[in-house]
Amino acid sequence: MADDSSFEFDNLDEVFNAAAEYLRLNGSTYDNEKLLYFYSRYKQAKEGKCNTPKPSFFDFQGKVKWEAWHKLGDMNKSQAKMEYISLLTNLDQDWRNKMSLVASSGDGGESSGSQARPQGMGVSVSVMSRTESELSEGEKTIFDWCKEGNVDKVKEILLAGSVNVNGLDEEGLGLLHWASDRGLTNMVELLLSLHADINIQASDQQTALHYAVSCDHLDLTKLLVLKGIDISIRDAEGNTAMDVASDDMKLLLQSLQRQAS
């Protein structure tokens, strides 16, 4: 998207930090495609190669951001900083002078006339946050405890016999779907040990395996297949888990099928 070949700086870190601050103050003027580009380079520059698990199937914005960062692979931090600065300079060649004016004014860009923080892809945010609201313990259902990975609490509730391990929540998902979506291998093992139906289908007819492969949860996918989940089950759109899997997950599923045959 940007040509950084003509950009050289005596202090790359200093210029990069200034660019990031400028974007924090002015990012609301750019479309999501550009914000996503900035976001991925910012993460690569700060943390290097993507090293976080793929977000939940339902965290749509988080998945888009994660995929953009993940695609950068082993790009070194200096290259990421150069590309970040390059695109900003292509979009606004006068940004450094504007930042100098902000600095000289002494208000750090926080005066009443400054622009609001960008929403969009949230380029000023350094971590991909969950969007779920905080609930008090008294408000939580077994599905909330399951999403959080609280194996002891889920086990306690299920052993009390007041909740059906194969029940669906208001979103049409079972405990096994949520545990698989979050990559919670221990939770899935618990649910299966308490007689959860491994082939249970959500309201959209997807199984736990659809969710596991969609989020690239390798260990969980292996567990489900080895426990005998039916790989051939199709969802409401006619897709099997193989159909919705990434190329890497397809290879894993094919390998597991060969082992089972």
Query: What whole-number distance in Å separates Cα of residue 16 and Cα of residue 218?
Result: 36
Tell which wins on pLDDT, 72 or 105.
Answer: 72
Q: Where along the chain do its domains lie?
A: 12-101, 142-260
pLDDT digits (tens, 9 = 90+) for 150-202: 999 999 999 999 899 999 998 899 999 999 988 899 999 999 999 999 999 99
CB 4 within 8 A of CB 86: yes
Task: Reply yes or no on domain 142-260 having CATH 1.10.10.10.
Answer: no
Predicted local distance difference test score (pLDDT) of residue 8: 52
DSSP H or E run through 3: none
Name the pTM for this structure. 0.57
CB 81 within 8 A of CB 45: yes
β-partners of residue 174 are 168
Task: Reply yes or no on domain 12-101 having CATH 1.10.10.10.
Answer: no
* 188-195 contact pairs (CB < 8 A, 24+): 188/220, 188/223, 188/224, 189/223, 190/151, 190/154, 190/155, 191/154, 191/165, 192/227, 194/155, 194/158, 194/159, 194/165, 195/165
Predicted local distance difference test score (pLDDT) of residue 62: 78
Q: What is the mean pLDDT of the chain?
A: 82
The two structure tokens encoding residue 161: 């016999």
The two structure tokens encoding residue 4: 């950084």
Q: What percent of the chain shows pLDDT beyond 70?
A: 81
pLDDT digits (tens, 9 = 90+) for 113-163: 333 333 333 333 322 333 344 667 888 999 999 998 999 999 999 999 989
